[in-house]
Amino acid sequence: MRLRFLTRPVASLVYVVVIAAPAYAVDGVVLINQAVALNGNVTPGDAPGFPVTISVPGSYRLTSNLTVPDVNTTAILVSANDVTIDLNGFAIIGPNLCAGNPASCSSSGAGVGIDAFGTENIKVFNGTVRGMGSHGVALFENSSVERVAAMGNGGTGISIASIGSVTQSRGDSNGGSGIFAESVSSSEAARNHLDGIVVTSGGSAVGNTTSNNGQRGIFAICPSLVLSNSAAFNSTGIETFGTCVRANNDPAP
């Protein structure tokens, strides 16, 4: 006897799980945009939505503007050392509105554009941070900011709490001071509610322009170098605490 086996096609169910993951540029840089921020998973521990949490050292680059919904929301939170953030000509945008000469802001909150307080060796460059409830860029130690415009934020525009530098940047119409760092060069600070530029002890303010700030155009804690700066139409032009090296400033001495 021959046994015959009848076969029928069996429908197979295939489940595809799609996990949102960050894209990478050809040079290995992690790319971040609004959609990526809302999806999450940029680095381990990054939940969907804001803030975008950067918990892994490396290089990151914006490919669109990032817009946060309210003044209490932080856009980017950095919890790792050795991170570079290229704003790539884009902006981090909050809803705060600051206007006047010097500026007053419509509201304030806890939201920071880039919050890397407590980390080291953070670099931020080439873009804009505006309308945040608190600081625009808040870094901590051995960090730098270059070619960044921080405008209309409820706190200080650009702040580096410890060793660090700000170059070719702008702090404009912020509810606090414009720029706070150890060393500030070739930068502008105007219409800020408090000081234009604050330089911490042992640092330098070189080649900066300040105007129409509510308090001092430049305030330096000595010993520091204060060289070739302009400070016009501020409540006080250039003020130093202690003995600093001052030369070629306008107004002088």
Which pLDDT score is estimated for 21? 60
- Identify the bridge partners of residue 24 per DSSP, sorted by sequence position: 30
Mean per-residue pLDDT, 31-55: 98
| Whether residue 23 has pLDDT greater than 80 | no
Domain ranges of the chain: 76-247
Mean per-residue pLDDT, 72-88: 98
Mean per-residue pLDDT, 4-24: 48
Q: Per-residue pLDDT tens for 156-179?
A: 999 999 899 999 999 999 999 999
Which pLDDT score is estimated for 3? 41
Choose the weakest-confidence range: 17-26, 108-117, 163-172: 17-26
Mean per-residue pLDDT, 1-6: 42
Is the distance from CB of 61 to CB of 88 less than 8 angstroms? yes
DSSP string, 103-130: EEES---S--SEE-TT-BSEEEEEEEEE
- Give the model's confidence band at 24: pLDDT under 50 very low, under 70 low, under 90 confident, else very high: confident
Which pLDDT score is estimated for 11? 42
